[in-house]
Chain A
């Protein structure tokens, strides 16, 4: 036999074997197999985990074949927009809250209330705040899978650095004032900027999100519950931004120092100052535990070295307390949404899958547990094994309880950009915090009014 034939045969055998091993093969379906392309951004690192989950789903639903389409993050916006708007979109799409809302008002995705009713899905298993984020105009458009904690109230802190600076490692800062005191004691400047940092209170990307987070720890609010009135330029808001500017200038030496300190680093990639014991307090979202465990398993396992704390609040404001925000961040409040163009049977299959990866013990629960991060499903988080994989689990649950859902609209992208610029203008000293917020408020409210006027006219 010729060599080329041998190679061809070997390739054919390998392909057959790989097909046989693939978790996506529906084996015992006695009817027509429905193929469902699952467009998601869970990343290559979690692909195997997702494939396992899909395998479990297909064992229970042999007539539904899930094609796991993990997408690159870099050009997410174009991929999502073109896929959603095409005549042949994926069967189920992972989208953020603003995207979900936008697709909803554009008629690109369907509300799933009728599926929830038909399948008897118990929505009370979710935290109210989590499921509440997925409603637009009174209709439910997706089931949450991760917590919406893109901006949770959680911080991790370095106990060794606290100890070295003369503070009690088991008593992390509870208030802004304590955070200032500890950060000032820990931060070390050098000719190139900052070498060791207590913490930073501004966002590295998108200062608006950081501002909104701190705003809620000063008893302020971003917008009214109906999302029609912006409230962030209240006295609490102005006080918050002033505090952020002062902290950044006085303790970190300015906004540029902060940007330089974190330049070209990423927690998920393992090259973040946290891993080098150069950062004492780090604002996290719930994905960080999994990344920490992957990048530094020994450090993660050593709880004498690190702990979890809640976002400090303004100790001078008697009404302020710990708070986190959910659903504000442009990349937060992920859900699985179902495109409108597909036939009903495919949409139903998509809902079944969304339900599985949302609430099933072998689905969403297991997927998030494997990453040491909480689930939007209350019962999943009661798994005692969480305390073993995440030694600070009790604080995580405490943090989830403090989360506040923020009202946003489909024009959140534009609003966030204006607010981010206002925060930057204050940080760079272009405007005073009060002027920056008031100017931004005027512009943003006009944009919001325009949106609601159009929306109300369309829905008369």
Chain B
């Protein structure tokens, strides 16, 4: 009897403690939530937001390396110079837009097509998927060095192949006309990341939709056009956005492949190389900051435009259901 009473008391204490904890947790759930995201948020503030704001501030100054104390405030002078006196601004912007105008769609299409193939039910598919993804885990520097070998005019694999089939060799890295196509070609190398996302998207498409299409006599083409592509538009949208943002910021591979001057006639001088040169070669950090703010604004506006237009071409299943 006494033992039962003791147990009941213990249970009650336990319940009381649990209840109090649960109540405390519920009352403070917002704070606890914030505590969980604090590490990320702190990192965001320290490594992203603060440098961004400081960069914005620097863009209105004549900050040069070694400026002691407060750098001199010059208002919009850097921005005026960019649009009126900097010939390389328009040149580097043109090169960058050309690059991403071709590389982003090509990479999307290539990654999508490969993902479609890798989504087939074929024996040993895991191996193929791994093989196609492997290039993406090769560091960009190593991949670029390998590519430089491929693109070598005299001894490169690509030209050897072209000669073998009777075509004219291409001066991939020495001709101003071929520099940008070479960079676009190189951009296809790391398609594996996008391919994996596409593959995940493809595998989330309900099988019964394909079965229904088959019953209705839909061909493979019909299934691709009327089921796969529409249902993949959110994934295409996501990859497109990442591709655009990454395309504008292309730097490392160009830096390694053709150097900071952008190759012959600066045909490969992309925007980030220009930003880099202004900062680290000319030590004009204020001006370089202004260039990077311009880039941010361009990417921001373009992203907004893509997001805004996405209502017209991105198919979200849930929204459709609501309408039904």
Contact = CB atoms under 8 A, between A and B. Distances in A.
Bound pair (A, B): yes
B280 to A, nearest CB: 4
B66 A106 contact: yes
B127 interface: no
B154 A421 contact: no
B14 interface: no
B65 A77 contact: no
Given A81-B65, A260-B153, A411-B282, A424 B171 contact: no
Given A263-B153, A263-B173, A263-B174, A425 B66 contact: no
A108 interface: yes
B68 A263 contact: no
Given A77-B281, A192-B169, A108 B265 contact: no
A78 interface: yes
A191 B167 CA distance: 12
Nearest to A443: B87
Interface in A254-286: 255-256, 259-261, 263-264
B171 to A, nearest CB: 5
Interface in B273-290: 276-277, 279-283
Interface in A381-432: 411, 413-414, 417, 420-421, 424-425, 428, 430
Interface in B38-97: 64-68
Contact of A206 (B163, B175, B261, B266): B261
Contact of B265 (A78, A206, A428): A428
B187 interface: no
Contacts of A259: 171, 173-174, 264
Contacts of B260: 77
Interface size class of A (residues with CB under 8 A): 20 to 34
Interface string A235-266: 00000000000000000000110011101100
Contact of B153 (A192, A205, A420, A421): A192
B159 interface: yes
A103 B66 contact: yes
Interface residues of A, dominant DSSP: helix
Contacts of A261: 154
B283 A102 contact: yes
A106 to B, nearest CB: 3
B240 to A, nearest CB: 31
B284 to A, nearest CB: 9
B281 A84 contact: no
Contacts of B281: 77, 413
A263 B67 contact: no
A84 B173 contact: no
A428 B279 CA distance: 29
A81 B280 contact: yes
A77 B266 CA distance: 20
B66 A424 contact: no
Interface in B250-280: 259-261, 264-266, 276-277, 279-280
A424 B149 contact: no
Contacts of B152: 263-264
A106 B67 contact: yes
Nearest to B153: A260
B282 A413 contact: yes
B171 A260 contact: yes
A256 B175 contact: yes
B228 to A, nearest CB: 42
B66 A421 contact: no
Contacts of B115: none
Contacts of A315: none
A421 B259 contact: no
Given A81-B280, A259-B174, A413-B281, A193 B67 contact: no
A81 B288 CA distance: 14
A425 B153 contact: no
B232 interface: no
A329 to B, nearest CB: 14
Which interface residue of B67, B171, B173, B260 has the most chain A CB atoms within 10 A? B171
Contacts of A301: none
Contacts of A414: 282
B280 A84 contact: no
A169 B260 CA distance: 39
A255 B260 CA distance: 19
B176 interface: yes
B66 A107 contact: yes
Contact of B174 (A78, A107, A256): A256
A77 B280 contact: yes
A193 B154 contact: yes
B264 A424 contact: yes
A85 interface: yes
Contacts of B261: 205-206, 417, 420
Contacts of B173: 259, 263
B244 interface: no
Nearest to A105: B66
A187 to B, nearest CB: 15
A421 B169 contact: no
B99 to A, nearest CB: 20
A414 B261 CA distance: 11
Contacts of A255: 174, 264
A84 B276 CA distance: 17
A45 B163 CA distance: 39
A84 B66 CA distance: 8
Given A264-B152, A414-B282, A428 B176 contact: yes
A88 to B, nearest CB: 14
Interface string A419-451: 011001100101000000000000000000000
Interface string B6-27: 0000000000000000000000
B148 interface: yes
Nearest to B281: A413
B148 A192 contact: no
A103 B283 CA distance: 10
Nearest to B284: A414
The 7 closest A-B pairs by CB, nearest first: A106-B66, A259-B174, A77-B280, A260-B153, A108-B66, A256-B174, A413-B281
Interface of B: 64-68, 148-149, 152-154, 159, 163, 169, 171, 173-176, 259-261, 264-266, 276-277, 279-283
26 contacts: A77-B260, A77-B276, A77-B281, A81-B280, A81-B283, A84-B66, A102-B283, A103-B66, A106-B65, A106-B66, A106-B283, A192-B154, A192-B169, A255-B174, A255-B264, A256-B174, A259-B173, A263-B152, A263-B153, A263-B154, A263-B173, A263-B174, A264-B152, A417-B277, A424-B264, A428-B265
Interface of A: 77-78, 81, 84-85, 102-103, 106-108, 191-193, 205-206, 255-256, 259-261, 263-264, 411, 413-414, 417, 420-421, 424-425, 428, 430
